[in-house]
């Protein structure tokens, strides 16, 4: 009888674990879309597909005045060659897509791109939301102000109207016909132009912009500058021991910043004693300061919190916090550096002093 009860318990546990794993595997992932035109769509798919967090890139025809365009008539119907990028905003951002976009085109050319001439090859950013429009316009202003280009940046930021997927033989052309693709790309002049403009600039995937022009160090440098616990938490998604970390009971006024990048993440004004032994907050210092990412480990669905620009693991957020948000941002001290209120100005965080004015 004891063996039967034990067997039943074991089978029940196995079933629960299997159900939890199945739920985690099939949990929906929220995605967003972005649409860019940069001349020949063959050349625009591959760069976006290399971005972590991008789930699909389609070559197609955008913002035309008719329906069902084909490769034979899309130009006559007012369409441009474009790509539709589907991405997970908890992993990558629209600003990162924009950064990659500028590195694929000649933004000073109003009449086409490289060897491809005509309105169907004109570059353009097609926004789907007001937020995308704002980010695109800011990004355009910044690329113009960089002084990188000798002529004005003329890429229009336009409202998205429609997108039709191109024929299958156009999809991932670079992979299906690598020799012809490389020959075309080189002969078009695109590679030579981009090399000349961006030769001394690290690729977007190799750097992570944060305050002060932060460039994220490589693994070896991080292992030298961080303690073993800081490295395990921020780079490997570890968790420090409760009640045995630096800030769980810190009550001083100030802000908490990413230990690696220095970007401001949380304020002492939103810190509370959760009784868990980790520093806990009801909200980040601003809505855009952290990124959320689904975490399906430990047979349950959680929401991981990462610094948005430094892309370091900070902790998790739960729905059991106090008012007014009802959230508990359970963070690791090892991922944070505390800046006391009295030192914020001299350390370059003076803009956040307004939070403490009554």
Pairing mode of beta strands 254-258, 336-340: antiparallel
pLDDT of 297 higher than 80: no
Write the CATH number for 316.
2.170.150.20
User: How would residue 25 be classed by pLDDT, with cut points 50, 70 and 90?
Assistant: very low
Residue 3 located in a structural domain: no
Token pair, residue 140, equals 């355009």
Q: Which of 34, 35, 37, 40 is catalytic?
A: 40
Question: Is residue 43 flagged as an active site residue?
Answer: no
Tens digit of each residue's pLDDT (9 = 90 or more) over 84-140: 999 998 888 898 899 999 999 999 999 999 999 999 999 999 999 999 999 999 888
| Percent of the chain predicted with pLDDT > 90 | 58
In a domain, 1, yes or no: no
Residues 232 and 134 occupy one common structural domain: no
The pair of structure tokens assigned to 91 is: 């992993």
The catalytic position among 83, 85, 265, 330 is 330
pLDDT at 304 over 70: yes
> Do 249 and 339 fall into the same domain?
yes
Last residue of some domain: 152, 172, 206? 206
The pTM score is 0.53
The parent domain of residue 73 ranges over 32-206
Picking from 4-8, 170-174, 247-251, 346-350, which range would have the lowest pLDDT averaged per residue? 4-8
Predicted confidence (pLDDT) per residue in 212-223, tens digit? 445 677 788 888
| Residue 12 is assigned to a structural domain of this protein | no
Model confidence over 276-290: pLDDT tens digits?
999 999 999 987 788
Amino acid 28: pLDDT: 55
In a domain, 4, yes or no: no
Taking Cα atoms as reference points, which of 190, 114, 120, 126 lies closest to residue 155? 126
Mean pLDDT of the chain: 86
Told to judge if 9 belongs to the known catalytic residues of this protein, a careful annotator would answer no
Same domain, residue pair 345 and 242: yes
**Do residues 106 and 143 share a domain?**
yes
CATH code of the domain covering residue 105? 3.30.1060.10
Is residue 160 located within the same domain as residue 306?
no
The total of structural domains in the chain comes to: 2
Residues 42 and 144 in one domain: yes
């Amino acid at each position: 009888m004891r063996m039967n009860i034990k067997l039943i318990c074991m089978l029940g546990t196995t079933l629960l674990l299997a159900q939890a794993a199945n739920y985690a595997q099939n949990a929906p992932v929220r995605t967003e879309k972005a649409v860019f035109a940069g001349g020949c769509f063959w050349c625009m798919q591959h760069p976006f597909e290399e971005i972590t967090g991008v789930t699909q890139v389609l070559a197609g025809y955008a913002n035309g005045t008719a329906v069902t365009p084909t490769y034979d008539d899309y130009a006559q119907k007012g369409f441009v060659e474009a790509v539709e990028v589907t991405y997970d905003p908890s992993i990558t951002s629209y600003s990162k897509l924009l950064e990659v976009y500028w590195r694929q085109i000649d933004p000073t050319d109003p009449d086409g791109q490289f060897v491809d001439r005509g309105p169907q090859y004109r570059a353009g950013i097609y926004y789907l939301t007001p937020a995308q429009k704002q980010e695109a316009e800011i990004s355009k202003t910044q690329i113009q102000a960089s002084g990188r280009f000798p002529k004005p940046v003329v890429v229009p930021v336009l409202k998205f109207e429609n997108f039709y997927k191109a024929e299958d033989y156009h999809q991932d052309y670079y992979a299906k016909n690598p020799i012809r693709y490389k020959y075309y790309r080189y002969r078009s002049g695109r590679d030579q132009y981009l090399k000349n403009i961006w030769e001394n600039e690290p690729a977007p995937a190799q750097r992570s912009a944060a305050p002060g022009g932060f460039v994220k160090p490589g693994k070896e440098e991080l292992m030298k500058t961080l303690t073993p616990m800081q490295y395990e938490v921020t780079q490997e998604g570890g968790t420090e021991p409760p009640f045995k970390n630096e800030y769980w009971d810190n009550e001083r006024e100030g802000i908490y910043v990413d230990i690696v990048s220095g970007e401001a993440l949380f304020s002492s004004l939103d810190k509370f004693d959760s009784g868990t032994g980790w520093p806990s907050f009801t909200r980040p210092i601003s809505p855009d300061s952290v990124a959320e990412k689904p975490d399906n480990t430990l047979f349950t669905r959680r929401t991981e919190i990462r610094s948005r620009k430094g892309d370091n693991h900070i902790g998790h957020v739960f729905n059991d916090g106090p008012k007014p948000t009802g959230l508990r941002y359970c963070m690791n001290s090892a991922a944070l550096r505390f800046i006391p209120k009295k030192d914020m100005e001299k350390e370059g965080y003076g803009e956040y002093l307004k939070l403490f004015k009554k």
